[in-house]
Amino acid sequence: MRTYQQLMLWGGLSLLAACNPSDSNDIQTEKLILTATLYADGSTAKIKAALGKEKSTVVVVLNGGDYLQVSDGKTTSIMEFQDSLINNINYRQTLPLNLLNSYSISLNRPTQNTVFSSTFPVIPDSFAIVFPINLQTISATSQPILNVQWDNKVNSEKLTLTHDYQCTWTANPAVINEEKITVNQLNSNSHHMLELDTIQRSQRTASLSLNNEINDMKSTLITRYPTTTLTLNQCSLNIELAAKNSTQAHSEFSNQSRLYSVREYPINITLTP
């Protein structure tokens, strides 16, 4: 059995873990944890799946004839195995996207003459962020509160708004950074995910306090470098509205197994002082 360190994507979250790949034919189906996500991307359904084992950190690799396949009720395709630090250990496949179709994922175990099929939950309807628009430049001073707006009311189990800031600052005088290098430019970043409430979903808008976020990042830098004056150059702000539905997998799998249907709408804007 192989053992190595790698980045493992689990349940949609990235974490550093020691993963011990394990052969599927050594594990009973009831001990397998299936995590599968269908991403609605334009006219394509992108499906990703991973298998784990209960009470263990192992990532399961299908072998001994076992395989995963996906179907939209018209087309059936075997999922392709991927194993790398970038893609992690998982299985992927694409199908044409049609909201009228029912999508499923099946674990086939020919040596046991069994097939365990699970149906993905309803795919969220399409939506788009209408303000701000992609690649727009906004002054954080003139618009300290950014009201993100989208076009359609989204009916989904969860609706989240992710906002990631990556900012650059000029330091005067220059400072010695953590790598012991004298620099006059510093970087800061922050990540937030807001789960939208009933009012925000109904009004199709959510507010982001740009000034507060920028000031918090500046305060953190000042704590590290108290003898310099910081001036904001600009920020790259990635905003993503994501709708997600979930359901349980086939009852033969571990009850920790989940299937997700997700639709995302990302944009990137530039913030200036």
Domain positions in the chain are: 4-120, 129-243+267-272
Query: What are the backbone angles phi and psi of residue 222, rounded to the nearest 5°?
Result: -65, -35
pLDDT of residue 20: 56
Average pLDDT, the chain: 91
Dump pLDDT digits (tens) for 161-206.
Answer: 999 999 999 999 999 999 999 999 999 999 999 999 999 999 999 9
Cα separation, 204 vs 83, whole angstroms: 39
Query: 225 has which bridge partners?
Result: none
Span 147-172, average pLDDT: 98
Cα separation, 206 vs 81, whole angstroms: 39
Model confidence at 218: pLDDT above 60: yes
pLDDT of residue 59: 84
Confidence of residue 240 (pLDDT cuts 50, 70, 90): very high
Paired tokens of 30: 């009831």
Indicate the class that CATH gives domain 4-120: mainly beta
Q: Which helix (H) or strand (E) holds 172?
A: strand 158-176
Model confidence at 137: pLDDT above 90: yes
Span 102-123, average pLDDT: 97
Confidence of residue 87 (pLDDT cuts 50, 70, 90): low
Cα separation, 60 vs 68, whole angstroms: 12
High-pLDDT (> 90) share of the chain, %: 85
Q: How far is CA 204 from the centre of its chain?
A: 22
Cα separation, 38 vs 261, whole angstroms: 5
Task: Give the lowest-confidence range in 78-92, 148-162, 221-235.
Answer: 78-92
Confidence of residue 10 (pLDDT cuts 50, 70, 90): very low
Dump pLDDT digits (tens) for 16-63.
Answer: 333 456 668 679 999 999 999 999 999 999 999 999 999 888 889 999
Q: For 108-204, where are the alpha helices, taking DSSP H only?
A: 198-203
DSSP reduced 3-state for 222: helix
